[in-house]
A and B are shown apart, each in its own frame.
Chain A
């Protein structure tokens, strides 16, 4: 890709309001959207607010909506866009604006606190902890999460219904719950939380979260659906209910 001038619209503003501002920028070979934002910041708008850290898709700081699609700015190459395409960069919609491209993501940190911690089983008699690779492959998939919160941002349960935030943990934390529930050493019970506080039932598996995950975690198929099945087994299994009654009767 040769160097070329592009037009970029960046949302500028704060809690009280704002608007898109257009910049003409030279996009050089290999550049990503974050480079363009940094270029604007260096040369024309020193106070353009943006979060970033690793610039290599590993930390999940630079989430935004680029031409309407939730993406990491550091992993979105400029050559993805047609030469005359207007590029729009907006902050994530689901979270309150702080300034420009920076949003208040504290919702996620609050939800994280509510999840019961990892509680390991006792060690093996020889003092080790043995787990086999095939038993942790799924857990490792979930641990790839970089907490970019793009899945939270795109999830319509909270994107379009602010009120639901109180009752809904969101895809990121379903992945976290699934990682804990499927951890071979974990001993904790989180079923009540999943049912009552995390709002697993709100999810109607439209897979929007899976589509935007930059780590390609199969959020819906591998995390949410198995969790839903677990809840069904725990609370709505008619055989189990009968069994419980019989036990109660006998005791």
Chain B
């Protein structure tokens, strides 16, 4: 029997895991509700993935186009998501985003301005009006710093460089979380009434990705292991424009703002190929010729250029062009803003893109086109939640931001992620606090289980030799990139499942040297468990969805199937095994259906 004093231990009402936009906003809200709140993050505060968001935060403020309102934003989000979205989440998101953006301003954010001194908004793919509040091309930095400073001044306890490895339950409900300090490798126990997951996605399992090391599906795995449901986890977004050259920067994000501000895509013969890839679904609102598209840049009353179709469409088009032999020397396509916009404009609107290409690729984007190609970017699917409260199927567990499923359906529009973070981050904090306040009885943690978890987590040190964790990771990335990428087939997906099963066996034999103090080899060995779990979940769900829709394209089922438009693919863990089911989407109320169908 372990003594409770064996582990460093802390007690809170609400524990927020993850300190990107969603986690920070959740912690701020929970704390404002008067409950004792802690924020745990794997990196230093302010380094989470939100900091890398570039283009902007979508909200129908109507500052540039007074015609814009929540209904149009709702419609764009649903259509962009190929109607697989949870309608209620899309409605809440569109309605609340403007207040959340103005709130950031109340907390000190400095967005770019219109001539009248209001928040300026820019064009992005799939949004009918210029809608993205932004700060040049570093909006995420502005957002995370604003939230970070606000949280710090609210006196929220922050545990930095601390990785949570297991959620703890007392019967059916959450009672805590267990993890380790990265610095010392020592274990730490958090007892709490409620947990908010704000841990992001899992793109790090793919080889070409815009995601950092933190994106290992950790939170998705925590929920799955605790008995939560995943929804539409097969929906992985490949951002159409990542850097392709040189090899060491392959996958680093090139903001959609480049196209929003006038950049166009061209193949190696110099053709603007996007006109050949306009799907029926978006025909009515998309320009058909170059002349028509060029007119849109001058007057937004014209139909939009197909360069700004939703990301899934553009990523597939680029993929097809490269496969057809019309790619650039390094296997991408050209993204050209230099021939439309003057150098000063580009440097002012896209300073970090200018800097990034100049420093890392020796390319001056004010004079030459960029080479770009798809990069694994975002999980639309994730932990299944209740729209209004962000509650998962486990009492006491809430989820917000990329880790949660529903808002984006089969494909996320650019700019809707940052707004998702603050809209649902706030709700997660609010409802987690309410849950904690209503909680009766004591929070009890069975300390006996912790010793078992400790042995599991320390296993990589007990072997004398064995697999290199970084080698398993590289093989997994290769597998997911080749077999579970933009275009999928049943045969390849099944091959991936076999490989993942072998990686799991290799993980059993993983060995790390050195000690527990700040040891990346050990961290990687632990992260692999999450990455393999999430990879398996994505692959299983991808096999189940026998159609093509949004981020999920099946070569063997190339059409969208209305039957699959009515279901979520749900993955859960039962008796240690992942299982897959199809479950009905909630019906959209008639008045909202009318908004979606409206073509005007």
Contacts and interface: CB of A to CB of B under 8 A. Distances in A.
B43 A136 contact: no
Given A53-B212, A59-B51, A109 B247 contact: no
A70 interface: no
Interface stretch (B88-96, B310-318, B355-363, B487-495): B355-363
B360 A32 contact: yes
Interface stretch (A137-145, A152-160, A199-207, A224-232): A137-145
Contact of B520 (A49, A60, A129): A49
A54 B52 contact: yes
Interface string A70-113: 00000101000000000000000000001110101100010011
A180 B356 CA distance: 28
Contacts of A139: 110
Contacts of A130: 116-118
B522 interface: yes
Contacts of B256: none
Nearest to B51: A59
Contacts of A144: 138, 141
B203 interface: no
A30 B249 contact: yes
A56 B110 contact: no
A133 B153 CA distance: 27
B588 interface: no
Interface residues of A, number: 58
A146 B48 CA distance: 12
B352 interface: yes
Interface in B194-224: 212-214
A206 B27 CA distance: 40
B145 interface: yes
Nearest to A145: B145
A29 B51 contact: no
A179 to B, nearest CB: 8
B560 interface: no
A152 to B, nearest CB: 13
B474 interface: yes
A6 to B, nearest CB: 14
A183 interface: yes
Nearest to A138: B110
Contact of A60 (B47, B108, B213, B521): B47
Interface stretch (A40-48, A161-169, A190-198, A237-245): A40-48
Given A42-B474, A55-B212, A136-B110, A61 B47 contact: yes
Interface residues of B, number: 64
B513 interface: yes
A146 B141 contact: yes
A52 interface: yes
Interface string B89-122: 0000000000000100111101011001110000
Nearest to A101: B518
A109 B110 contact: no
B599 interface: no
Interface string B341-357: 00000000000100110
Contacts of A58: 51-52, 138, 141, 352
B46 interface: yes
Nearest to B516: A47
A58 B54 CA distance: 10
Q: Which of B43, B245, B512 counts the most A-chain CB atoms under 10 A from its CB? A: B43
Given A35-B248, A54-B51, A54-B212, A118 B113 contact: no
A143 B141 contact: yes
Contacts of A75: 359-360
A234 interface: no
A251 interface: no
A90 to B, nearest CB: 16
Contacts of A35: 248
Contacts of B514: 46-47
Nearest to B108: A118
B44 A133 contact: no
Contacts of A100: 518
A19 interface: no
Interface in B432-478: 468-471, 474
A50 interface: yes
Interface in B353-384: 355-356, 359-361
B248 A31 contact: yes
A18 interface: no
Contact of B110 (A77, A145, A183): A183
Nearest to B212: A53
A42 B116 contact: no
A75 B108 CA distance: 29
Nearest to A100: B518
Interface in B497-556: 512-515, 517-522, 524
Nearest to A130: B117
Nearest to B136: A140
Interface string A166-194: 00000000000000100101100000000
Given A105-B44, A186-B108, A132 B512 contact: no
Nearest to B514: A47
A60 B214 CA distance: 15
A51 interface: yes
A111 B109 CA distance: 20
Given A56-B249, A113-B152, A98 B117 contact: no
Contacts of B258: none
A103 B391 CA distance: 38
B183 interface: yes
Nearest to A74: B360
Contact of A52 (B48, B213, B470, B521): B213
Nearest to B42: A53
B108 A46 contact: no
B47 A47 contact: no
Contacts of A60: 47
A120 interface: yes
Given A14-B517, A47-B514, A140-B135, A120 B470 contact: no
A143 B152 contact: no
A61 B213 CA distance: 12
Contacts of B138: 58, 144
Contact of A53 (B214, B360, B519, B524): B214
Given A30-B245, A129-B102, A129-B106, 14 more contacts: A30-B247, A42-B471, A47-B522, A50-B520, A53-B43, A53-B213, A53-B214, A61-B43, A102-B183, A112-B149, A113-B152, A136-B113, A180-B108, A185-B108
Name the 3 nearest CB pairs between A and B, nearest first. A30-B246, A46-B521, A47-B514
8 contacts: A41-B470, A46-B521, A77-B360, A140-B112, A140-B135, A143-B110, A143-B142, A180-B108
